[in-house]
């Protein structure tokens, strides 16, 4: 397994090369509603996470959506 560096919310992380985005998000409790993810400044719909493969240098941003008034 080859490890590569990505950026997750501005912090460097090592992951397996070509790991799916879903694998990165699973341990972070992102299965719940109210989370948006952008990969290299492009929002990735949750249904695309399993087939979106991460590569060296990718920038992943995770946003918790907040509602209220």
pLDDT tens profile 3-16? 999 999 999 999 99
In the chain, where the domains are located: 3-64
Exposed/middle/buried for residue 47 (C-beta within 10 Å: 0-12, 13-18, 19+)? exposed
Express each pLDDT in 34-44 by its tens digit: 889 999 999 99
Rounded to whole angstroms, how far apart are CA atoms 38 and 9? 10
Fold for the domain defined by 3-64: Ubiquitin-like (UB roll) (3.10.20)
Q: What is the pTM of this model?
A: 0.85
Query: How many CA atoms within 13 Å lie on the side-chain side of 40?
Result: 9
């Amino acid at each position: 397994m080859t490890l590569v560096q990505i950026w997750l919310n501005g912090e460097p992380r090592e992951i397996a090369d070509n790991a799916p985005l879903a694998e990165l998000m699973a341990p972070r409790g992102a299965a719940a509603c109210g989370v948006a993810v952008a990969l290299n400044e492009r929002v990735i719909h949750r249904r695309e996470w399993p087939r979106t493969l991460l590569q060296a240098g990718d920038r992943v941003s995770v946003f918790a959506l907040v509602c209220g008034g």
